[in-house]
Amino acid sequence: MLWEHLYDAITLCSKHRILTDITTNGTLLNEETISKLGSAGLNCLNVSVDTRDNFSISNKNVLFDENIMQLLKSAEMKYGMKLRMNSVISNNNFDDIKLLLELSNESKTPLSLGFVVPDMNIVDNKDIYFSEKDHELLGKLISYILAKKKDGYPIIDPDSYFENVYRFIRNESFWKCNYPTKYGWINVIANGAIRSCTKKMDDTGIEFLSLTSKSIKSYKRSLENPIEKCNPYCYSNCAYDSAYYKKNKIAFVLDNFSKTF
Ligand code: SF4
């Protein structure tokens, strides 16, 4: 939301019927910015939220502010701007995950939960990452989340994302990422350039506004080989979900629409 051209870019996309989706930590959300996003025609707003209390492991907690949640829910009704929330599961935030699940259920806001993904450039730093020694904790976490999902809580991710985390920890190659090559999905960062993938924190140097329909296709093709190399270190829930629901379209409808409408 720091990008100075953000609202103009969304308006331009709306005019050309291009789906827009923003992920934000929510610190700049207020009555004015929510209204501007809605008026510009933003389709989806994904708010990262990790905790209820500032003094916990993260300060991403804006959706626990009742006023902001109310404004966002009103914007959903008024502009059709769909709200969802996402959070990261690490080996030390089970209590925060329980609170988030309740918030998601009470506010009828779809929640996506992803296991923390190691930084692509610092694969040895495992402080908050799960490992073989976390089997017991993972067992409790996964049972808890799947039980809530079975009770109708609007959790976006398929059951297999949680169940397969053991395979990820064992470094098995068992899923095919299609995230950055998925049709129509372009990731734009604050300076207006394109990032190849949200998990890579890179800057391709290609300006979003300079793209043409021809250059989009060749750009996406150029990403296919790099994906093969980064996959062993990544268990992104967005990417996993994209690959899973592309193959399981009926599951997508059942998991995502039956609980929120
Ligand atoms: S595997 Fe996919 S989601 Fe993960 S870093 Fe690579 S391109 Fe991104």
- The domain that contains 235 carries what CATH number? 3.20.20
**Pair (149, 240) in one structural domain:** yes
**Pair (10, 107) in one structural domain:** yes
**Pair (40, 136) in one structural domain:** yes
Which residue has a Cα nearest atom 5 of ligand 1?
Answer: 199
Number of domains the chain contains: 2
Q: For residue range 60-82, what is the model confidence (pLDDT) as tens digits?
A: 677 778 889 999 999 999 999 99
**Pair (76, 26) in one structural domain:** yes
Given a cut of 70, is residue 246 above it in pLDDT? yes
Q: How far is the CA of 235 from the centre of ligand 1 (A)?
A: 8
Please indicate, yes or no, if residue 143 is contained in any of the structural domains: yes
* Boundaries of domain holding 225: 178-229
User: Which residues have any ligand 1 atom within 6 Å of their CB?
Assistant: 177, 179-180, 197, 199-200, 227, 230-231, 234, 236, 239
Reported as a pLDDT band with limits 50, 70 and 90, residue 181 is confident
**Pair (71, 155) in one structural domain:** yes
Please indicate, yes or no, if residue 261 is contained in any of the structural domains: no
- Compute the distance between CA of residue 47 and CA of residue 49 in angstroms, rounded to an integer: 6
Report residue 150 as tokens: 């079975």
Please indicate, yes or no, if residue 219 is contained in any of the structural domains: yes
**Pair (85, 190) in one structural domain:** no
Could you give the percent of the chain with pLDDT greater than 70?
Answer: 87
**Pair (72, 194) in one structural domain:** no
**Pair (246, 145) in one structural domain:** yes
Mean pLDDT over 118-144 rounds to 78
Q: For residue range 29-42, what is the model confidence (pLDDT) as tens digits?
A: 999 999 999 999 99
